[in-house]
Structure 1
Amino acid sequence: MLDKPAPTGRSLYIGGSWRHPLSGRYVATLNPGTNEPICDVAEASAADIDAAVAAARAGFRMWRQVPPLERGRILKAIAAVVRDNARELAALDAANCGNPVREMIGDAGIAAAQLDFFGGLVTEMKGDTIPMGPDAINLTVRQPLGVVARILAFNHPFMFCAGKMAAPLAAGNAVIIKPPEQAPLSSLRLAELIGGLLPEGVLSVVPGGREAGTALASHPGVDKVALIGSVQAGRAVMKAASDTIKPVLLELGGKNALIAFADADPARVAAAVVAGMNFTWCGQSCGSTSRAFIHRDIYDAVLARLPEKLSGFVPGIPTDEATTMGAIVSANQHDRILDFIASAKAEGARLVCGGRVPDDPRLGGGFYIEPTIFADVTPQMRIAREEIFGPVLSVMPWSDEAQMLETVNSVEYGLTCSIWTNDLVKAHRTALAAEAGFVWVNEVAKHFLGTPFGGWKQSGIGREECLGELIAFTQEKNIHVSLKLPG
């Protein structure tokens, strides 16, 4: 069992130093595994955001002059700090967001890999030359945007903080991080660990709620805002950003499909159905394949295997290294998920397993729900249409391919899709037909650094984890040089 940790810095990290919020307001941040307070953390107001933006603009003027290879070296130094402190940062996230500490150590590795990746791409922000004949040279260059705000989600707080600062910093921007309101501690600790590696103002961390997020999105001194969050939050950010016509990068929700054809092996499909739900962090993942479309020929065989495949996911104290499934992030989210489960029962879905709050007395104070699977779900049911962001899976039989694809594409989301078949034609045909930005064939739940991750429809705008993310934090300039001699 790891001790409950907390960073020393619990205020606002602005301009290379810690500042009390101008309002003097601090709010408790909780451990969802026990529903006990960890410590009080500053809550930034719009006035604090003004100060952060002013410091970031000053930091940007210095950072943009740092040669790209030196920026890359600094990012790799930050990656080394992340790796050296992985266990501490993982413990912070386990205590503050409810995900199991063993998995959070992996998150630190992913974040460090992203820092290394973008640190190595700094020379790839290249322009073009355009032929103009013998009397002129025409070329394009890419330059940083300025100040980038990144608003983070609660399901992977540290991974998002460290990993998502990498691309904008590599491109020469200053970055303001607003950590998740529910779980700000790991972001604050990161500022303590790496603040001295960057010029003052280049990195700011401003914990806060809706006021801080709105102030960042609408601020005229912020040149781009990126959000990981719900569709509703994405809409709010777009509206706030529209006043200054600033670009946005949005990685939003999902109601993702796993499609299994009749020729797929039922045992492999059952394992994929469970793996795709990310039950380890309670299904709190926008990429989770929370709708499983299983061909009728293998439907019963797959369902029969699900309880055994699910047996390894048992809710437990998040900071315990033996825990395989953590806690829901908050009481509000816990109540919301239980309401979805009640609606599924009322609408006639068949409960295969789970659906209850665990009766383990050690978990009585926290926010836990058993991994839950419903079968015989119909497309009209609420659990088949709305993003739950919890450990609830809907399984649906199908026999008509065209009708199945119509149902798969009928929701407003389009983030991921997983296809299971041994038929190459079916695999490619279905991958092209799925209205999703990231498609697996005979695979599920994995990200591959260097490949573009992002959604279609209301699941987002833009791509991350690839060269395109780096380019998205630059702006293109055309330069025309006349070579005509006078006279």
Structure 2
Amino acid sequence: MRPNEPRPAEAPKEPIRLEQPIDGRMLIDGELVESAGGGWLESSNPATEGYIGRVPDGNAADIDRAVAAAEKAQLAWAALSVEQRAACLNGFGDAILARSDELLAAEVSDSGNPAAFMLGDIRASVARLRYLAGLGNELQGATIPVDPGKLHLTLREPYGVVGRITAFNHPIAMAVHGLAGPLITGNTVVLKPSEQCPLSSAILGEIARDALPPGVLNIVSGGRAAGDALVRHPRVKRLSFVGSVGTGLAIQRAAAESAVKHISLELGGKNPFIVFPDAPIDKVAAAAVTGMNFSWQGQSCSSTSRLFLHEDIHDAVLARIVEIVEAIKVGDPCDWDTRMGAIVSKAQLERVEGFIRSAQDEGARLVAGGERPRGPGFDKGYWMRPTVFANVTQDMRIAREEIFGPVLSVLRWSDFDQVIEMANSVEYGLSGAVWTGDLSNALRTVKALKSGYLWVNDVASHPRAVPFGGFKNSGIGRERGLSELASFTEEKSVGIVI
């Protein structure tokens, strides 16, 4: 859904509400358990600051139990045919959809993201689970003709136990669709959800307990102790992480201390959106707002948060963007008509506010937002209006550092080489967009940009079959399609004398 689209026709009219606080458990070896240390993580609603539930605060002992369970289950799971594993995953998807109302209430209350968009997240995650499950038989080895007296072939085999750590902005989506690749290829998984939005993982554990064989999926909630133990565990040879650059660098260092591991990282972004003078003003303005992901309060690594407008259309596009942004409905995430909710935590809000102050101090011009919404419903919680800055230059913090909040930076350009230099000057290289009716301009721009995923005359679309991942400090490895499946296998070469 785009920021101003109506809610789905099948959505209920009443706001989605969490009926009572969630008292969650972890899933280890098919059992719902508390932490070995007895600790708990409590969650509060970022829109109200009210208590909404708790999950166990897992530690190294819990990770060790989960890895042992995953190891025990892995050989039998890998011995199943691809069709049998796919049937299990499709049944898992059916069970997720059957409890989508509960998951949605937990997601909205825990993350602050609007219900209309989180409903789409849940459905899309199951669709991707099913897609990758169906793609399993397409992952094949090869025969290599070396000499007539020998046959050389390659086999694809699972790593064994895969560790996956997810981020807070799409909690259930990242958990669910991130399981399909490792599971369909014969691995078992230990999942550590974000400690900032862990509640839906407790429901997911209940679903998996009944839908998957014991030990195939283990879910250990917790903070840094659990995450560090999973990363360092010597019998976890494949790791997948979604989060910040700093944490990604720390994971690489920590993982290498216990074993040689295959690690994929989907990290931050400071993504450029380059607009040429022939671009249609209204379409570009709408795309700029959509690409900024205000629907998730700007909390998306692929947000095109640096908008480079050619000087010939700069003022017209900027004026239209301000009109669209000021019409976005900010409010209760449980309301189906809300188009932007609350920022995930007090700490994240303070980070966003710090960037806004920095931008003003450095001379950027605030043209929309920049403050907390006013009126009923905004006296508590972590709120910020969708914010747009003009007169931004590349030396400013808001043009160079990832904010992970609802702040769009607009820069002016006239020279092609200069705009490419500015676009590539940051440490990130996750995604980007180009808007032009000139195919030559489009092709030379996408070839020049150092980003892993680029849109031309589009933004924010992520087809399931197209590899997604970053250059530079935005990550390593690719998700989606056959690239994702292959990454969860090791290639074995076999030579046979015939």
The one-character-per-residue Cα deviations of 1:140-174 (angstroms, maximum 9, x if unpaired) are 11111100011000000000111100110011100
265, 268, 281: which is aligned to 1:266?
281
Calculate the aligned-residue CA RMSD, in Å.
1.2
Q: Residue 374 of structure 1 contacts residue 395 of structure 1 at CA under 8 Å; is this kept in 2?
A: yes
AA in 2 matched with 1:475: E
AA in 2 matched with 1:462: G
Q: What is residue 6 of structure 2 aligned with on the other side?
A: none
Q: What is residue 480 of structure 2 aligned with on the other side?
A: 465
- Unaligned stretches of 5+ in structure 1? none
The one-character-per-residue Cα deviations of 1:167-210 (angstroms, maximum 9, x if unpaired) are 10011100111111011111111121132222111101111111
C-alpha distance in 2 between matches for 1:428 and 1:9: 53
1:321 is the counterpart of 2:336:
yes
Shift, 1:8, TM fit: 6.0
C-alpha distance in 1 between matches for 2:381 and 2:223: 23
Q: Residue 5 of structure 1 contacts residue 92 of structure 1 at CA under 8 Å; is this kept in 2?
A: no
C-alpha distance in 1 between matches for 2:149 and 2:411: 66
Q: Larger deviation: 292-301 or 30-39?
A: 30-39
C-alpha distance in 2 between matches for 1:362 and 1:291: 31
Q: What is residue 108 of structure 1 aligned with on the other side?
A: 122
454, 462, 466: which is aligned to 1:451?
466
Alignment of 1:62-461 (within 5 A): 62-243=76-257, 244-461=259-476
C-alpha distance in 1 between matches for 2:52 and 2:148: 69
Shift, 1:7, TM fit: 7.9
The one-character-per-residue Cα deviations of 1:79-117 (angstroms, maximum 9, x if unpaired) are 222233323212211000110111111001110111111
Give TM-score scaled by structure 2 length: 0.95
AA in 1 matched with 2:191: I
Q: Measured at CA, do residues 278 and 8 of structure 1 come closer, stay the same or move farther in structure 2, by a change above 3 Å?
A: closer
Q: Residue 145 of structure 1 contacts residue 474 of structure 1 at CA under 8 Å; is this kept in 2?
A: yes
Q: Residue 144 of structure 2 contacts residue 152 of structure 2 at CA under 8 Å; is this kept in 1?
A: yes
AA in 2 matched with 1:99: N
Q: Larger deviation: 400-409 or 9-18?
A: 9-18
SS at match of 1:120: helix
Shift, 1:360, TM fit: 2.0
Shift, 1:281, TM fit: 0.9
C-alpha distance in 2 between matches for 1:279 and 1:359: 18
C-alpha distance in 2 between matches for 1:8 and 1:394: 39
Q: Residue 228 of structure 1 contacts residue 252 of structure 1 at CA under 8 Å; is this kept in 2?
A: yes
Q: What is residue 9 of structure 2 aligned with on the other side?
A: none
Q: Residue 358 of structure 1 contacts residue 368 of structure 1 at CA under 8 Å; is this kept in 2?
A: yes
AA in 2 matched with 1:352: V
Q: Residue 172 of structure 2 contacts residue 200 of structure 2 at CA under 8 Å; is this kept in 1?
A: yes
The one-character-per-residue Cα deviations of 1:392-429 (angstroms, maximum 9, x if unpaired) are 00000001110111000000000111101111100000
- Unaligned stretches of 5+ in structure 2? 1-14
Q: Residue 327 of structure 1 contacts residue 368 of structure 1 at CA under 8 Å; is this kept in 2?
A: yes
AA in 1 matched with 2:196: Q
Q: Residue 46 of structure 2 contacts residue 381 of structure 2 at CA under 8 Å; is this kept in 1?
A: yes
C-alpha distance in 2 between matches for 1:118 and 1:268: 33
Shift, 1:375, TM fit: 0.2
Q: Residue 22 of structure 2 contacts residue 53 of structure 2 at CA under 8 Å; is this kept in 1?
A: no
Q: Residue 326 of structure 2 contacts residue 368 of structure 2 at CA under 8 Å; is this kept in 1?
A: no
C-alpha distance in 1 between matches for 2:161 and 2:396: 43
Q: What is residue 13 of structure 1 aligned with on the other side?
A: 27
